């Protein structure tokens, strides 16, 4: 079927795609519907992915990672997302945001202490930026970081933190008297209090919680990089995170297309498979075209990243286009399945629910448009 990227892959990419697809087929897909129904976070499966190296795909080999380029990472993430987007986001947040921040701004000691076990899969990491009153306006965050001798004391509340109740470490963005900072917080630190897992519309196999920080004390070396530089670090890492969300959206959309192609070939109405009707063909053609375009945009932005170029605008373009594609394609898929598409027994209903959040988290579609538009003007204006 021409819905899966199959041509132009290097030998390494081919192997990674095959390995991920096989893992997804045997370890994720058979359980995805049950995890969705019961909101089960499959730590055993995440740990297995870690042992296979999937939690350190883009981390350089010197820190125990696979040292893969960004497109290869996205190819693997697409396979995970096509099987279950909740698993993909668990891996994607860990891989893109905290790992990027540590790699770019961590000291040598911080990389040894935290990046290495993250890359080997021994430590799962999450990210806590948003707060109940600081979503799109991320810089309005109020979680406080107060210096007390040679320690930092964190107090406040975070919202919708991915992996917050299941991770071993969190990168937490908080405000000191000098500005916004990033901290590496072990989740067993006294005063770290995750709420109960949120009851979400989709991505139900991923863990999302509010977190209360009740005077969490951290040694000075838990400050990531420099004081007051944390907002820029977070924004820079979100550029990479947004490529992951774009790819997650591609995986969801691709799987909805694959189910639709199969179903429309089998489903008969008026004595013929519905794929023979032009109205159905046109829908499938538009779905396939948009999936290809979304993937191409994400891979083009990934290639820019690997050339060392700024990707802020292109990551936002990829995320915007892919997430709206996922929502559109899954809506068409539900329509093609008709009454069956509205039933939980059929797979496209879950894909439709999983798609929605890609238009919301790591910056809403509105925020992506704002970023794209402002990058069209010189910084001085
Ligand atoms: N790379 C590097 N630095 C950046 C940057 C980038 N992409 N974007 C901004 N910065 C820097 C700026 O250069 C500026 O630095 P100086 O102060 O030194 O000049 C600083 O950050 C502030 O930038 P802005 O003035 O642009 O900040 P702003 O307050 O206007 O906000 C925004 C910009 C784009 C709206 C930003 O708030 C934003 O992206 N909002 C969306 C928030 C978001 O994506 N949240 C995701 C939550 S996390 C999540 O969903 C992950 C998960 O768990 C699934």
| In a shared domain, residues 258 and 158 | no
| In a shared domain, residues 221 and 143 | yes
From 126, 194, 230, 235, give the residue whose CB has the most ligand 1 atoms within 8 Å, as the site to mutate. 235
Query: How would residue 6 be classed by pLDDT, with cut points 50, 70 and 90?
Result: low
| In a shared domain, residues 239 and 361 | yes
The pLDDT, as a whole number, for residue 63 is: 97
Nearest residue CA, atom 1 of ligand 1?
Answer: 236
Q: What angle do CA 289, 13, 350 make, to 5 degrees?
A: 50
| In a shared domain, residues 251 and 352 | yes
Which CATH number is 281's domain given? 1.20.140.10
Tokens of 268: 């008969």
Query: How would residue 1 be classed by pLDDT, with cut points 50, 70 and 90?
Result: very low
pTM of the model: 0.96
Residue 241 burial (CB < 10 Å; 0-12/13-18/19+)? buried
The pLDDT, as a whole number, for residue 2 is: 43
Specify if 25 maps to a domain: yes
The whole-angstrom separation of Cα 279 and Cα 7 is 29
SS (H, E, C) the chain: CCCCCCCCCCHHHHHHHHHHHHHHHHHHHHHHHHHHHHCCCCHHHHHHHHHCCCCCCCCCHHHCCCCCCHHHHHHHHHHHHHHCHHHHHHHHHHHHHHHHHHHHHCCHHHHHHHHHHHHCCCCCEEEECCECCECCCHHHCCCEEEEECCEEEEEEEEEEEECCCCCCEEEEEEEECCEEEEEEEECCCCCEEECCCCCCCCCCCCCEEEEEEEEEEEEHHHEECCCCCHHHHHHHHHHHHHHHHHHHHHHHHHHHHHHHHHHHHHCEECCEEHHHCHHHHHHHHHHHHHHHHHHHHHHHHHHHHHCCCCCHHHHHHHHHHHHHHHHHHHHHHHHHHHHHHHCCCCCHHHHHHHHHHHHCCCCCHHHHHHHHHHCCCCCCC
In tens, the pLDDT along 319-362 reads 999 999 999 999 999 999 999 999 999 999 999 999 999 999 99
User: What number is the average pLDDT over the span 134-141?
Assistant: 98
- For tokens 């917050």, the residue is 164
Specify if 380 maps to a domain: no
The answer on pLDDT for 18 being more than 70 is yes
Query: How would residue 267 be classed by pLDDT, with cut points 50, 70 and 90?
Result: very high
SS (H, E, C) 253-306: HHHHHHHHHHHHHHCEECCEEHHHCHHHHHHHHHHHHHHHHHHHHHHHHHHHHH
Domain finish residue from 229, 261, 289: 229
The pLDDT, as a whole number, for residue 284 is: 98
Answer yes or no: 362 catalytic.
yes
| In a shared domain, residues 104 and 34 | yes
Domain finish residue from 189, 205, 229: 229
The answer on pLDDT for 380 being more than 70 is no
Which ligand 1 atom minimizes the distance to the CA of 92?
A: 54
Nearest residue CA, atom 25 of ligand 1?
Answer: 139
The pLDDT, as a whole number, for residue 191 is: 98
| In a shared domain, residues 107 and 133 | no
Q: 314 C-alpha vs ligand 1 centroid, how far in Å? A: 15
Q: 323 C-alpha vs ligand 1 centroid, how far in Å? A: 19
Specify if 2 maps to a domain: no
| In a shared domain, residues 133 and 100 | no
Which ligand 1 atom minimizes the distance to the CA of 126?
A: 53
Which CATH number is 194's domain given? 2.40.110.10
| In a shared domain, residues 197 and 268 | no
What percent of the chain is modeled with pLDDT above 90?
97
Angular region, 203: left φ>0, alpha ψ -120 to 50, beta rest = left
Q: Which residues contact 38 (CB under 8 A, 6 or more apart)?
A: none
Specify if 311 maps to a domain: yes
The pLDDT, as a whole number, for residue 379 is: 72
Angular region, 338: left φ>0, alpha ψ -120 to 50, beta rest = left
Specify if 73 maps to a domain: yes
Domain finish residue from 203, 229, 255: 229
Q: What angle do CA 68, 184, 240 make, to 5 degrees?
A: 35
Specify if 322 maps to a domain: yes
Tell me how many domains the chain contains. Answer: 3
Residue 22 burial (CB < 10 Å; 0-12/13-18/19+)? exposed
In tens, the pLDDT along 354-371 reads 999 999 999 999 999 999
Is the CB of residue 93 below 6 angstroms from any atom belonging to ligand 1? yes
Nearest residue CA, atom 28 of ligand 1?
Answer: 139
| In a shared domain, residues 278 and 355 | yes
Range of the structural domain that residue 206 is part of:
125-229
Specify if 32 maps to a domain: yes
| In a shared domain, residues 280 and 269 | yes
The pLDDT, as a whole number, for residue 4 is: 56
What are the Cα distances from residue 195, in Å, to 14, 124, 308? 41, 18, 39
The pLDDT, as a whole number, for residue 278 is: 98
Which CATH number is 49's domain given? 1.10.540.10
Nearest residue CA, atom 53 of ligand 1?
Answer: 162
**Which residue out of 226, 362, 375, 381 is catalytically annotated?**
362
The pLDDT, as a whole number, for residue 5 is: 62
In tens, the pLDDT along 212-251 reads 999 999 999 999 999 999 999 999 999 999 999 999 999 9
User: What number is the average pLDDT over the span 294-308?
Assistant: 98
Q: Which residues contact 360 (CB under 8 A, 6 or more apart)?
A: none
Question: Around Cβ 140, how many Cβ atoms within 10 Å?
Answer: 11
| In a shared domain, residues 225 and 235 | no
Specify if 37 maps to a domain: yes
| In a shared domain, residues 298 and 201 | no
Residue 47 · residue 121 · CB < 8 Å: yes
Query: How would residue 111 be classed by pLDDT, with cut points 50, 70 and 90?
Result: very high
Is the CB of residue 130 below 6 angstroms from any atom belonging to ligand 1? yes
The whole-angstrom separation of Cα 272 and Cα 264 is 10
């Amino acid at each position: 079927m021409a819905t899966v990227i199959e041509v132009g892959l290097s030998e390494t990419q081919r192997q990674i795609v095959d390995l991920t697809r096989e893992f997804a087929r045997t370890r994720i897909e058979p359980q995805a519907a049950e995890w969705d129904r019961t909101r089960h976070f499959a730590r055993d499966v995440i740990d297995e992915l870690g042992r296979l190296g999937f939690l350190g795909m883009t981390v350089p080999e010197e820190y125990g990672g696979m040292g893969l380029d960004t497109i290869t990472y996205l190819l693997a993430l697409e396979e995970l997302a096509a099987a279950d987007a909740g698993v993909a986001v668990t891996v994607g947040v860990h891989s893109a945001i905290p790992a990027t921040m540590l790699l770019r701004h961590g000291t040598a000691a911080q990389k040894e202490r935290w990046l290495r076990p993250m890359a080997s899969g021994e430590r799962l990491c999450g990210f806590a930026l948003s707060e109940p009153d600081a979503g799109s306006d991320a810089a309005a965050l109020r979680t406080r970081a107060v210096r007390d001798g040679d320690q930092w004391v964190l107090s406040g509340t975070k919202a919708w933190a991915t992996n917050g109740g299941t991770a071993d470490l969190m990168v937490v963005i908080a405000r000191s008297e000098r500005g916004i900072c990033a901290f590496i917080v072990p989740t067993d630190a006294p005063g770290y209090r995750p709420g109960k897992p949120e009851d979400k519309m989709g991505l139900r196999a991923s863990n999302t919680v509010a977190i209360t920080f009740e005077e969490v004390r951290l040694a000075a070396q838990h400050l990531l990089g420099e004081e007051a530089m944390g907002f820029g670090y977070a924004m820079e890492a979100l550029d990479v995170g947004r490529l992951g969300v774009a790819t997650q959206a591609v995986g969801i959309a691709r799987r909805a297309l694959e189910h639709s192609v199969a179903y429309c070939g089998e489903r008969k109405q008026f004595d013929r498979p519905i794929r023979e009707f032009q109205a159905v063909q046109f829908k499938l053609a538009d779905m396939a075209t948009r999936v290809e375009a979304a993937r191409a945009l994400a891979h083009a932005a990934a290639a820019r990243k690997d050339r060392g170029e700024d990707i802020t605008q292109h990551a936002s373009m990829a995320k915007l286009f892919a997430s709206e594609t996922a929502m559109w394609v899954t809506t068409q898929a539900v329509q093609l399945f008709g009454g069956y598409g509205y039933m939980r027994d059929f797979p496209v209903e879950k894909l439709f629910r999983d798609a929605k959040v890609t238009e919301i988290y790591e910056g809403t579609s509105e925020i992506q448009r704002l970023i794209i538009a402002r990058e069209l003007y010189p910084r001085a204006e």
